[in-house]
Chain A
């Protein structure tokens, strides 16, 4: 049962433009959400997180938005850079349960 879904397997964006990655979840008990970035032959690298008490968290070029009523979150990357080309995973967890539930990932390609 896939509780975290990333419905877009790939995204292509021009350098300098905005990348928007989407993630939906079904478990209303999830209260902590993370984005990880993964390059080939490397493990996922933590990017940014958000708690359910917030609806927005920003870190440099990366902003995560959370819409609890829609059970939806998104990651905005502005401006996109060639080094952002990677697979991005959305993950979620709930209080007192430290396992992460991951989506299937979105492959981002930033074109020069």
Chain B
């Protein structure tokens, strides 16, 4: 059984650019959540996908968008990057949807916006 993986590990972008981050869920999991962790803070919920549909969203603007694929892998897209988007982006998978279950996190992607 493989755990949650994320790519790339690190990324540097400039303001105004767009970025795509990727996540592969743990085997058997059908739900993926994305979190943003700014320096010195806890992770903040961005959104969750269950069976390829958005299942809930946190307080993030529409330029943060996502996709979940039939194999339950996922992407986080951020358009028009701002300096404050610099953070660690974490994805977490679970066997959730209608049943709450423990979320298992990947190692994260460190995004730096210059």
Contacts and interface: CB of A to CB of B under 8 A. Distances in A.
B104 A100 contact: no
Interface in B43-72: 43-45, 48, 55-56, 58
Contacts of A105: 41-42
Interface residues of B, number: 27
B43 A100 contact: yes
Given A4-B42, A32-B100, A89-B42, A97 B56 contact: yes
Q: How large is the interface on A (under 10, 10 to 19, 20 to 34, 35 or more residues)?
A: 20 to 34
A45 B42 contact: no
A104 B39 CA distance: 10
B78 interface: no
A43 B58 contact: no
A85 B106 CA distance: 20
Interface in B77-105: 90, 92, 94, 96, 100, 102-105
Contacts, number: 58
A35 B1 CA distance: 23
A102 B107 contact: no
Contacts of A32: 100
A100 B45 contact: yes
B76 interface: no
A104 B41 contact: yes
A46 B102 contact: yes
A108 to B, nearest CB: 15
A98 B55 contact: yes
Interface of B: 4, 6, 31, 33, 35, 40-45, 48, 55-56, 58, 90, 92, 94, 96, 100, 102-108
Interface of A: 4, 6, 32, 34, 36, 41-46, 49, 89, 91, 93, 95, 97-105
